[in-house]
Amino acid sequence: HGTHSNVVRQSTPSGVTTCRAETGNMQARSDQSTDEIQGRADFDFLRYASCWEDADVLIEALRPQAGKRVLSIGAAGDNAFALAATGADVVAADINLAQLACLELKRAALLALDYQDVIAFLGVQDADDRQQTYQKLARQLSDDARCFWDHHPSRINGGIVHQGKFEAYFQLFRTRVLPWIHSKKTISALFQPREDDERFAFWNERWNNWRWRTILRVFFSRFLMGRLGRDPEFFRYVTGSIGDQIQERVQYAMTTLNPAENPFLSYIATGNFSIALPYYLRPENFNRVREGLERLSWYHGTVDAVAQQHAKSGFDAMNLSDIFEYVSEQTAESIYRKLLSHANPSARIAYWNTFVPRRCPLNLRDRVQPLDGLSRELHARDRAFFYSHFQVDEVLATDA
């Protein structure tokens, strides 16, 4: 349990004897990818301490099961864990070693601790002994991951699910902005069980006031989100105002969907998953998630490079997160084409759009069938409400 026999780690480049997480050497080598965002955005720190994508929707889209191989963006690990819990073999890739350090530490905790200790150590519940727990888990980590966390003891002590740049952005919103708009009583009332018509009434009568509308546009503007939440380069291909779109999607999450079942809304409004848990942390999934970790391998590099290096018998499903959002249409087509060469017939490919519409490139439509009906159905249930679109494509059986 907890060994790394199935994990191939990149060796530290010659001449670099200190931790790659601390020297600016976290970025994947340039020969590993054509992915242009790698050369523009900063990948030397933890961007996301949780996966901000709905694993339930992803599992329905990709149909992972025993005997299938899945390629996945690593991110914070959550959705790679969820996919492996279905019985599938999962290969995770990330160009950011800090993200892989996050994945590794969560994995070590899930393997070694009981359920209550896992959620306490990760930061979902209170704990005062996280550093002691970490010392027990550290021996299960790769050198890079252990070095990263050894250099960030305060992040361990604070609970790692709260330690990404994106989480800090939402923490700023919750502590400094939201109190100017709504009382604690109103925020708590948001998560009370209601029927559909009652949720719309709550939105109209108590939530959607002029302060909310005004501040939302400012705080979730491209300018502030780029500098405080993500990376300015992530918005290179965004056109037009994003404030209206976010307002519309938040309304949808608070009215059409049920806030009491939404882990993403729970975190943004309360600062934790106190109202609802993500898939990999739900108690009913715990044993399956833990068992699935033996079928998970992870690699440092871009998703197309990792797909090529570890293709073996090909992949039956691919979780691409929102990677096409940050690159030009030409680069998106190049990545998609490379991934297709490692996709088995009838493989499912899933990805999100936030502000930039990206679909299967027209030049590849003879090899791929966009599942538009399924995509719309799943997006309508997607609790990660900030995405404008969720797309599922299926590789045609003739592409053998």
Task: Give domain status of residue 110, yes or no.
Answer: no
Separation CA 150–CA 157 (nearest Å): 12
Report field, pTM of the whole predicted structure over 0.85: yes
The whole-number pLDDT of residue 392 equals 98
Q: How would you classify the pairing of strands 389-395 and 368-370?
A: antiparallel
Range of the domain at 180: 165-270
Tokens of 171: 């923490």
Give tens-digit pLDDT for 202-236: 999 999 999 998 888 777 655 445 544 444 454 44
Give tens-digit pLDDT for 52-105: 999 999 999 999 999 999 999 999 999 999 999 999 999 999 999 999 999 999
Separation CA 187–CA 309 (nearest Å): 48
Task: Give domain status of residue 261, yes or no.
Answer: yes
Give tens-digit pLDDT for 145-169: 999 999 999 999 999 999 999 899 8
| Cα of 159 vs its chain's centroid, Å | 17
Tokens of 225: 């989100």
Give tens-digit pLDDT for 378-398: 999 999 998 889 999 999 986
Phi, psi at 223, each rounded to 5°: -60, -55
CB 368 within 8 A of CB 394: yes
Phi, psi at 395, each rounded to 5°: -70, 130
Residue 54's alpha-carbon distances to 293, 315, 365, in angstroms, are: 19, 21, 26
Separation CA 180–CA 104 (nearest Å): 38
Phi, psi at 353, each rounded to 5°: -115, 140
Task: Give domain status of residue 243, yes or no.
Answer: yes
| Alpha-carbon dihedral angle through residues 136, 141, 145, 151, given to the nearest 10 degrees | 20
Q: How would you classify the pairing of strands 69-73 and 89-94?
A: parallel
Give tens-digit pLDDT for 243-260: 677 888 899 999 999 999
Task: Give domain status of residue 231, yes or no.
Answer: yes
Task: Give domain status of residue 327, yes or no.
Answer: no
Find where tokens 């994947």 sit: 28
Q: How would you classify the pairing of strands 315-319 and 343-353?
A: parallel
The whole-number pLDDT of residue 42 equals 38
Of all helices (H) and strands (E), which one includes residue 155? helix 153-157
Among candidates 355, 257, 325, which has minimal Cα distance to 56? 257
The whole-number pLDDT of residue 29 equals 33
Provide the H-helix boundaries in 15-142. 55-62, 78-84, 97-112, 115-122, 130-137
Task: Give domain status of residue 321, yes or no.
Answer: no
The whole-number pLDDT of residue 359 equals 86
Domain tally, the chain:
1
pLDDT band at residue 338, thresholds of 50, 70 and 90?
very high
Give tens-digit pLDDT for 266-288: 999 999 999 999 999 999 999 99
What rounded mean pLDDT belongs to the chain?
86
Task: Give domain status of residue 144, yes or no.
Answer: no
CB 1 within 8 A of CB 136: no
pLDDT band at residue 135, thresholds of 50, 70 and 90?
very high
Task: Give domain status of residue 238, yes or no.
Answer: yes
Q: Three-state SS for 195?
A: coil
